[in-house]
Amino acid sequence: MRVSGKAMERDVFYTSCICNCGSNSQCVFKAHVEDGRVVAVEPDDRFNTGIGREDAVLSEEEIVKVRLQRRPCPKGLVFYRYLYHPDRILYPLKREPGSRRGDGRYARISWDEALSTIADKMVAIRKAYGPYSIISPFSYSPGSQGLMRLFSFWGAGTCDWGWSSYDATKLMSHLIVGSPGWNYAEYYSGSASDMLANAKLIVLWGYDPTLGTNGPAYQFAWFIKLAREKGVPVIIIDPRYTIAAEVLADQWIPIKPGTDTAMFMAMAHVLFKEELWDKSFVETHVEPLGAAKWRDYIQGKEDGIEKTPEWAEKICAVPAATIRELTRMVARTKPSWLWSHWAVSRKSHGEQAVRAFAALQAFLGYWGIPGAGPSLNIGPKRNIPVKASWGPAGGYQIPAMFRSHLWAQAVLLLKKVRSGELSEQEYRRIVGWRTDPALVKAFNPKMLFMEGSGRKPHAPDILVTATETPREQIAALQEMEFTVVTHSMMTPTVQYADIILPVQDWMWEEQNIASSGYGGFECINFCPGIVKPPGEVKPATWIFVKLAEKLGVDPVKFFKYYTTDENWKKDWERYQRDCYQSAVDYYRKQGIAVPAWEEFSRGQFINCDELAEKPFVGWDDQIRGGKPFHTASGKIEFFSQYLADESKRDSGAHKDHAGKINANLPGNWGDLTAQPVYQPPVRGMSDPMVAVYPLMLLSPHPRYRTHYLFWDHPWLKDHVYRHRVWLNVADADARGIKDDDMVRIYNDRGTVQLPAYVTSRVMPGIVVIHHGGRYLPDPAGVDVGGSPSTLLGGDVASCVTAAKTTTLVQVERVRELST
Amino acid sequence: MTQYGFFFDQSRCIGCSGCTVACKQWHDIAPGPVKWMRVYQWEKGLFPDTRVYMLAIPCLHCENPVCARACPNNAIYKEDKYGAVLLDREKCDGSRKCLQACPYGAPQFAGDDPGLKMSKCDMCLDRLEAGLKPICVLSCSMRALEFDTLEKLVEKFGNVRRLEDMPPEKITRPSVVFKAADPKKQIVPMDYLKALKLWQKRENPDNGVLPDVFRSADDVLQASPQIIGRHKLELKPKNSAALMYYTTDDE
């Protein structure tokens, strides 16, 4: 017998995947390395070695404790092959003289020339245009620590606010429980382990964990399936018959997109009408005036409209009888795990869906009890520290000016403001101005510095993942005198840079701690940086240390671990060890020993779920422990006194009662109401614009990309998945379209051309193009790559904070593809 | 010889192709139609009975490998330790008689050009010899796969040897055990036809009557399956392009 293939003797390391997919750092590989190159990976084998079907050999308790392999998804399994992609940027590059931004013609330059040029330009632009002349779209992201920190020492520069994933959730979390997000354990709602151990009924709204990764790969989906296998009924409410609807659910209930709030309100109506609500919970934990007011509103005492199931069924297309029965069922089957995650909030008026769902669950008494919990977020829930300070920041307070989603508007509309065509007040409303209103006059954006791949690798590529159209964003890019991008790949946005700085991949080429992540699972892993970085790519932090030096900022003040370039790796390791030590200390205080650095850095990890006494339950301390919420009343608040007070509108950054800035509330909060109400989605299925553009476009997350990342990965696209537009059979037939026909999808914003996927898996009147497709305009301006951003954008009036991922379009057949 | 084989749980598979890419990177197979492990998705039924089925299928290492008999060069043989069906690539002349014979489409070719040599799932023999299970099995994040002796698999998971829409197994006797997709049930009563009528109308109290979403319910309920993508399980697509079509996801 001849055995060929991988020898088992080569260097093998454990490492973790951090591709910002929604799993973030929980998947683990055993990587096989030869001469600094990864040649193959195996999935995690640190538990249950050699077992395929792990649950067949484990007790439920062991599963709930997550004594499980962290198996990667297909993206992770072939991530390492991407490191050697021909579009990888290997050297600092300068746009060739005579070429235009977007042409993609570059010449190699030295690091010294690149950094000197950037520093000189920053100084010149600041001198000519003042301190608010450098922008960095999506600078609010944690990945932008480098540039923002540099600004704080340098004394100039701007940032923006908001991020595309969770803004509506963060805003509502701040208003409802007084916890503004990431840094507060009170932001997190529940865990998959708690669901599996305790839920008696599972209802999912627009949530498909078989597509987006939550926890290691699709582990969340697996946990739901395990719950179903032990007899817990699962219902999915979604306009698509998703893979989750097929595999995880007993029953699928279609709902019109963007109308979830109406259904939540009708369910609340049933609770009140049939006296099914949890009075003692509400009395104890919900701010009483707001609770009473919302009850009145639902029962029609405020506007004369009772929010009955009959009222709701016309809006959301779920029959009234079903809404009624479902409400009774979730009220009586205690506890019921009702879950929406972020999809329902990434729509026009998405804030309302978050808040109405949270309110409904408060009236059900489903906050802070095992097996239930409203979905504000699933995240790094115990908030175990894995960090070390870089040293104090500089004294300059960077103003958070505009909404990140609207960065191009913020640039382009200034001309109209200066010419008097647009009032400053209207400008502030449109762009979501969040700082001193007087600063509009001093805002003079002339340089764009994008950390496309900062400490988080491969951050969203703004042209195709923001919600403004690429056309508008390119126009804004062309307004700049100077553009810089740090990145690892030649993406659509990168080609608009004057200088490109190539960044190391931080999970393969750099030592990093991969701590926790989303998904209701929690663990801390280590990436040993086993791959030899190609060309002259550099760590993101190093780039900003050196740029700081060029700008006259002490590099040691910028990053206190820095000594010399030669010592970079050692300095970085000292920093990593200190980060790790903070987690060790956290556990030591509880009398729990965790692996020493030497073991940790060789693949042993901290399995936080295993170390915890019981599965994480959101707001346990408040509900069962009696601790007050951070709100003014100390209770859950569904009526915002702040938003009810018109005098605060358009007055710059808003602070809560405790003096914390509400980071996700723009100065002018548009039509956001003080309590949860249903507002029809702008460009939704009942918008008058359907007369022209009758189909509603959804752009859910893709299964095989993280935003744009992996778009051109030859092992994924057109290999195990393809990028097509989903079309219902009735809509296809009415247009003479068969599966795989080439079609055009268009509206007043732009035109996209893609093959059609004709299916019954999406309801009629709806088309789907997954998020993060490449923007690739042909000479006529038709986007033949298929970025949904080409069709989105613009609807500022309908989104205070929510990223809008839907719009209206028309579809027509182009030509038949030969297969 | 002990016959080893696979267990595939259709009720858990989410069609993500994790097994496919895990296999391809481990065995260093270039992107393209050579998929030793293939993941099919096929759609059946129209609203409200729409279903989408998944099948992850490697070579099933049949107890009666009809491919081996069909090979004019005796290039395919049954290995005697694990019962793997293996290929002696030197002997293969690319006649594709094996593919004609195999009802599961297991023999793989890099394209449609005549003379290309076959390759196929080798049960990860390199891994078996090192005491490890096939890479596809250990990569499944839904834990829908298992690998063991056929006897143990049957003992643990029952003796379902064929899924609906698959070819009969009587002659080939594939070394595989299945669990079929779960049935659907109404947890909460729902009148789906009423839901469809509600869906047809657009609610807009402020702006008068808007055009219906579709003309008649029949357009949704009685559409021709022929215009639907991947409306059948096609284990033996007519060429490489068709293989890619049937084993490529739209998520």
The number of residues making up chain B comes to 251
How remote is the C-alpha of A398 from its chain's centroid?
A: 23
> How large is the average pLDDT for residues B50-58?
98
The reply to whether residue B251 touches residue A702, judged by beta carbons under 8 angstroms, is: yes
Q: Specify whether the CB–CB gap between B1 and B175 falls below 8 A.
A: no
Distance CA A597, CA A573 (A): 11
Mean pLDDT across chain B: 96
The alpha-carbon gap from B129 to the nearest alpha carbon of chain A, in Å, equals 8
Q: Do A721 and B7 touch (CB under 8 A)?
A: no
Q: Among B133, B188, B195, select the one facing A50 at the smallest CB separation.
A: B133
pLDDT value, residue A468: 86
Listed residue (A264, A277, A291, A266) closest to A363, CA to CA? A277
How far, in Å, CA of A343 to CA of A305, rounded? Answer: 28
Residue of B nearest to A225 (CA): B12
Q: Which residue of B has its CA nearest to A728?
A: B220
Helix (H, G, I), strand (E, B) or coil at A753: strand
Residue A651 CB neighbour total at 10 angstroms: 11
What pLDDT is recorded for position A10? 73
Is the C-alpha dihedral spanning A783, A784, A787, A788 positive or negative?
positive
For position A752, what pLDDT does the model report? 97
Cβ–Cβ below 8 Å for B125 and A3: yes
DSSP A649: T
What is the 8-class DSSP label of residue A803?
A: P
Which chain A residues have a beta carbon less than 8 Å from that of B142?
Answer: 218, 221-222, 225, 247
Q: In chain B, which residues have their Cβ closer than 8 Å to the Cβ of A770?
A: 251
Kindly give the interhelix angle for A145-154 and A540-550, rounded to the nearest 10 degrees.
Answer: 20
Verify whether the Cβ–Cβ distance B27 to A3 is below 8 Å: no
Nearest chain A residue to B89 by CA distance is A2
- A429 three-class SS: helix
Q: Which residues of B touch A761 (CB under 8 A)?
A: 43, 50, 52
CB spacing of A719 vs B144 below 8 angstroms: no
CA torsion sign for A577, A583, A589, A590 is: negative
The series of mean pLDDT values per 10 residues for chain A, 819 residues long, is 50 87 82 93 95 97 95 94 91 96 96 98 98 87 73 95 84 89 69 94 94 85 97 98 98 97 98 98 97 98 97 97 98 96 89 95 95 75 86 94 91 97 96 95 96 56 80 95 93 93 90 79 91 94 96 97 97 96 96 96 92 90 93 96 94 93 92 95 94 96 90 95 98 97 97 98 98 93 95 72 89 72
- 3-state secondary structure (DSSP) of residue A30: strand
Closest partner residue to A41 (CB to CB) among B25, B213, B229 is: B25
DSSP reduced 3-state for A636: strand
DSSP notation for chain B: -PPEEEEEETTT-----HHHHHHHHHTTPPSSS--SSEEEEEEE--TTS-EEEEEEE-----SS-HHHHH-TT--EEE-TTT--EEE-TTT-----HHHHH-TT--SB-SSS-TTPPPB---TTHHHHHTT---HHHHH-TT--EEEEEHHHHHHHH------TTSPP-TTT--SEEEEPPPPP--SS---HHHHHHHHHS---TTS-----SSS-HHHHHS--GGGSTT-S--SS-SSHHHHHHHT-B--
Record: contact A314-B226, CB cut-off 8 A: no
Measured between CB atoms, which of B51, B146, B191 is closest to A321?
A: B191
Q: Cβ contact (<8 Å) for A77 and B25? A: yes
From chain B, the residues in CB contact with A74 under 8 A are 16-18, 20-22
> In angstroms, what separates the C-alpha of A265 from chain B's closest C-alpha?
17
CA dist A180 and A160 (Å) reads 17
Cα B16 from Cα A41, distance rounded (Å): 18
Within 8 A of A686 by CB-CB distance, chain B residues are: 202-204, 210
From A657's Cα to the closest Cα of chain B, the distance in A is 38
Give the count of beta carbons closer than 10 Å to the beta carbon of residue A815: 8
Choose the mutation target among A719, A757, A761, A813 for the interface with B, i.e. most B CBs under 10 Å. Answer: A719
Chain B: residue whose CA lies nearest to A771: B251
Measured between CB atoms, which of A77, A721, A739 is closest to B229? A739
Distance of alpha carbon A121 from alpha carbon A128, whole angstroms:
10
pLDDT recorded at residue A819: 46
CB contact under 8 A, A716 and B22: no
DSSP state of A438: G
Q: Do A732 and B227 touch (CB under 8 A)?
A: yes
**A206 touches A338 (CB < 8 A):** no
Choose the closest CB to B143 out of A5, A54, A243. Answer: A54
* Contact flag A251-B184 (C-beta cutoff 8 Å): yes
Among partner residues A225, A763, A819, which is closest to B199 by beta-carbon distance? A763
Contact A505, A488 (CB under 8 A): yes
Residues in chain A: 819
Which residues of chain A neighbour B214 with C-beta distances below 8 Å? 730-731, 734, 764-765
> Chain A residue closest to B157 (CA)?
A56
- A565: closest CA among A173, A115, A245? A115
CB contacts < 8 A, A to B, total: 294
Contact assignment for B199 to A256 by CB distance below 8 Å: yes
Tell me which of A247, A263, A757 to substitute to probe the interface with B (most B C-beta atoms closer than 10 Å).
A247
A77–B214: do the CB atoms touch at under 8 Å?
no
Residue tagged 């059948």 (tokens): B232
- Asked if this assembly's ipTM is beyond 0.95, the reply is yes
Spatial contact of A739 and B228, defined as CB atoms under 8 Å apart = yes
Q: Which pLDDT score is estimated for A707?
A: 86
Comparing alpha-carbon positions, the chain B residue that sits nearest to A702 is: B251
How far does the CA of residue A297 sit from the closest CA of chain B (Å)? 19
B245–A819 C-beta distance less than 8 A: yes
A456's tokens: 């988080």
Residues of chain A with Cβ-Cβ distance to B224 below 8 Å are 729, 733
**CB spacing of B223 vs A733 below 8 angstroms:** yes
Q: For residues A9 and B130, give the distance between their C-alpha atoms in angstroms, rounded to a whole number.
A: 10
**A-chain residues within 8 Å CB-CB of B81?**
1
Residue A280 neighbours by CB under 8 Å, 6+ apart: A365
Smallest Cα distance from B103 to chain A, Å: 22
